[in-house]
Structure 1
C-alpha cells in the first residue's frame, strides 16, 4: 500500500467494527473506552503544558487518531452477541 493511501490503525479498527469483524463485550468496550479517554485527556494536558518538550506533531497525530478507537469500540459492541 502506498503512503498516499496508508490506513492508520483507527481507520482499520473502524473498518473492522463496521464490517462486524471487531466484536467486543460491552463491559470490555467500556473499560477500553475509559482508558482511551484518560489517554486523550493526558495527551491534551501535555500539549497545554508549557514545559512539554516532546514531539508535539507526533502527539497531535496520536490525539487525532484515538477518537477513532473510541468510535470503533462503540460500534463493536453493537455487533456483539453473547454465546
Structure 2
C-alpha cells in the first residue's frame, strides 16, 4: 500500500465493538449503518457501470471493508446503556 493511502479500519472497529469499547446509541448506529449501506450500493453500481473508469481495485477494497463497519456498528448498540 502506498504511503498516501490510509488503511481501512474495519478490523479495528470490530475489535472495539467486540470488546465493548465502541458504543453507540441505536439511533446513531442506525443512521451510520444506513449511510454505509447507501455507500455500498453506490459502489457496487459504480463497478457494474461499463463506463466506470475509476480506481476499481481501491473500490473493491472498500466494498470488502464496509460490511465490517456495519457489523461493528450493529454490535456497538448492544453495549449501549442510556444514562
TM-score by length of 2: 0.90
Where does residue 80 of structure 2 map in the other structure?
Answer: 80
Where does residue 13 of structure 1 map in the other structure?
Answer: 13
Q: How many residues align?
A: 77
Q: If each structure's helix is expressed as a fraction of its own residues, which one has the higher value? A: 1
Which deviations, in whole Å up to 9, do the C-alpha atoms of 1:44-73 show, x marking residues without a partner?
000000000001111000000000000000
Counterparts of 1:29 and 1:47, CA distance in 2 = 27
Deviation (angstroms), 1:34:
0.2
Give the root-mean-square deviation of aligned CA atoms: 1.0
User: Residue 20 of structure 1 aligns to a residue in which SS?
Assistant: coil
Counterparts of 2:13 and 2:63, CA distance in 1 = 16
TM-score by length of 1: 0.90
Which deviations, in whole Å up to 9, do the C-alpha atoms of 1:11-43 show, x marking residues without a partner?
000000000000000000000000000000000
Deviation (angstroms), 1:8:
4.1
Stretches (4+) displaced over 6 A: none
Q: Which runs of 5+ in 1 are unaligned?
A: 1-6
